[in-house]
Structures are given as structure tokens and as C-alpha cells.
Amino acid sequence: MRPKLVNEFLNKKLFFWNDLIYISTVDLQDSSAQSGQISAMSKAFEQHLRERFNFIGLNSLTNIRGFRWAATLRGAVGKIVKSILLALLVFRSAEREFGVFTREVLIATLFVLARKNVIYEIHQEPNWGGFILLKFLGLFKNFKLLAISHGLANAWFARLGENRVFVYHDGVDTQIIDDACPIHEDGFLKSKVAVYTGSFHKGRDVLSLEPLFGKYDDWTFYLVGAKAGEFDYYKQKFSSFKNVHVISRVNANRVRKYQASASVLLYPLTIQNPLWKFTSPLKLFEYMLARKPIVASCIGSICELLDSSNAFVYSTEDEIIDAFERLLHATQGELSHMVEHNYKMVLDKYNWKSRVAFILEIT
């Protein structure tokens, strides 16, 4: 922990650039995890930098006459076109010297070549094209890389040098605590409610929970977040289990209510999920904020956040029953220690305000 005077200095520290511009081609209206992360980071930057911050994204193009067609473009070519148009828009409208923060490697490349200071936020292993661009960007001193996990950063330390590669996991908005009141409906009046909130389409994550359903028929399981096509499949898949409820995607406020209503929250990451090695899942920090016990697979970068001291962890799918049994036999004191430890983690570090402060400190 830093001394008080050091913290005060960092809070007053002038940003190296006159302005910071966060640039993204992601549609912030699509309710995906990445759009949620970008929106949350933008809000935190805005609160910290006020008039010296700006976000330039897809909506900026759609609001400009003659550029609305760009929003309809899809795929790699569409992303390239959008990136170039956004870069042109920034150069045309910027009045002062600025730096760029982005999670898109092509945008990072364009502005590094334009001699702007750039921090590129990397979220997963790049494809071959992204790998080549990152190797190229490593040649420039005005380029820094922010990884969302130590595992991902370690792959680039040797290539870029430790003084230009930084790590900070994702986080959660701690100001939403008051919104997370429990659901007062029949299914949630029971004392044994297990909840999963998140994507259904990645690997075997949701499917790996099936051993719990038959083993613990006195528990009620809520699986929240199925897309339209996924809902019918999983509804049929788990139709033999009367204690399983598949729920379609709901808004963020409703998600928090499900989390607040749980006796335990489930995080079943599997190696079939392409993100398992380096992920920093938003829902895990939401779980921590909800102050509920967590049963989670501990593989890849999740081991940087969870272990037996703050969750009931397991390494392989066939160990999930054992992890759940440890939850059932834990004392109230052990459960309280775990949830309060996780709660303190998000209040102290894994939140957007702290994350933004760290980014500004490394510039």
C-alpha cells in the first residue's frame, strides 16, 4: 500500500498528453462484454480527466453525413475501413496534442506511425496478422502494451521489454452495489439457489455444470444469459432436470439481481473456451462485488484471481462435485472470510476507477 502523500501526488499528477482519446470500432449498443468494458472504461476516464478525455467510436461515424454506411460493414475488411475512417476523423478534429488508448491493434498501428503516444490494451492471443503488427510496434518507443492478465503479458515481456508491458485485470463498477437487491419471486425464496450469469456459447462452460443438477436435486439452478438460438437448445438439453431454469439475456440491472439472489455463484470455465488461458472475465468481478461464495474452475489466468482461500476451485470438469461438496461443508466463518476478501479486492483494486488511475500512472 502506498503512503498517503504518494497517493495524493499520483491523484494530482498531470497526464503526459494534453488529451487522451479512446478509439474503438466496437458497437457499444450490442450488449456484449467488450462493449460493456469499453463503456465502463470510457466513463472512468471521463470522470478522471474531465475535459481532457474524448471517446471516438462507431457512433461518431454514423453521426457524420456520408459516413453512416460504415456502420453496416462487417468482417475484417469492415474493421479496417472503420479504423481508417476513425483515424481520419481524429486527425481532422483534434486541436491539441493527444495520446491514444485502444484495444484494437490496427488503430494502435496507425497512431504509432503518426508519432502519437499509444497504449494498446490486449485481451487475447493475436492472430498471425496481429502478431506481426505487435512485433512491428515493439520497435517504436511511443508504444506501450497493457495486458489483462499476467499470462498474456508474459508472452510479450521478452519481445517488448518489461518497461513497456503492463498488467491490470478488468474490474467492476463499485457504484452499482445499491442496485443489486435480491429477486422476490417463488424460486428465490428457497435457501439453496445456485446462479450462473454469462455467455452460453463458449466451449463447454455451461454444459460442464450438468453433473451438479442431478446430484443436488434439492438445489435450484439458474443459468442466465442465453441468446435466442441458445435458449431453445439449452432448455431442451436440461429439460429432464426440474431444478434447472434457463434464462434469456437480461439487462445489467437484472443480472445483478440474479447474482444478489444466489446462495452461490458458478464460474465454470473450460479449456474448450478459446479465452481460458488469458481471460479476465467481467462477471467474476461482479461475483466478487455481490458478496457471494464462488464455485469456479481455476485454470489459466483465473488462477491469478482465485484459489482455495477465496473460492471453491477445481481444475478439471470431473472435480466440480468435489468443489461443491467443499462449499456445502464450509463453516459460516469460512464463507464470510471468502466473500469479504473478494469484496475488498474489488473495492481496493479491481474496479474501473483504480484501473484508470493505474493507466494514467504508467503513461
> What grid cell was written down for 328?
456445502
DSSP string, 281-336: -HHHHHHHHTT--EEEE--GGGGGT--TTTSEEESSGGGHHHHHHHHHT--HHHHH
More confident residue, 182 or 289: 289
pLDDT surpasses 60 at 322 = yes
pLDDT bracket for residue 106 (50, 70, 90) = very high
**Higher per-residue pLDDT: 4 or 20:** 20
Pairing status of strand 118-122 against strand 264-267: unpaired
CA distance 280 to 36: 13
Least confident piece of the model among 99-108, 172-181, 262-271, 307-316: 172-181
- Compute CA distances 133 → 1, 82, 90, 104, 237, whole Å: 37, 18, 21, 11, 43
Give the CA diameter of the chain.
64
Question: Does the pLDDT at position 190 exceed 70?
Answer: no
User: Do residues 71 and 62 lie in contact, with contact meaning Cβ atoms separated by under 8 Å?
Assistant: yes
Cell 472475465 belongs to residue = 281
C-alpha cell at 89: 476523423
- The grid cell for 115 is 508519432
CA angle in degrees (0–180, nearest 5) for 52-79-81: 85
| Global confidence as pTM | 0.90
Note the pLDDT of residue 37.
95
Question: What is d(CA 98, CA 18) in angstroms, rounded to the nearest whole number?
Answer: 6
The confidence score (pLDDT) of residue 185 equals 66
Check the CA dihedral 125-131-133-136 and report its sign.
positive
Q: What is the mean pLDDT of the chain?
A: 89
Beta bridge partners of 73: none
288, burial (CB in 10 Å: exposed 0-12, middle 13-18, buried 19+): buried
Q: What is the pLDDT of residues 112-127, one digit of tens each?
A: 999 999 999 999 988 8
Please calculate the CA angle 355-281-285 and round it to the nearest 5 degrees: 60
User: Helix crossing, 150-160 with 128-137: angle to 10°?
Assistant: 50
CA 143 to chain centroid: 23
Q: What are phi and psi of 26, to 5 degrees?
A: -70, 140
Taking only the tens place, the pLDDT of each residue in 26-46 is: 988 887 889 999 999 999 999
Inter-residue contact 267 to 297 (CB < 8 Å): yes
Other beta carbons within 10 Å of 207: 15
**Residue 279 to residues 152, 201, 338: CA-CA distances in angstroms?**
9, 15, 22
Residue 75 has pLDDT above 90, yes or no: no
Q: Provide mean pLDDT across the span 240-254.
A: 93
- Residue 12 pLDDT more than 60? no
pLDDT of residue 2: 38
pLDDT band at 67 (very low <50, low <70, confident <90, very high): confident
- Report the pLDDT value the prediction gives residue 155, as an integer from 0 to 100: 81
Report CA-CA distances (Å) from 35 to 28, 183, 297, 350: 5, 26, 25, 18
What is the tens place of the pLDDT at every residue in 153-180?
A: 988 776 776 688 999 999 999 987 655 6
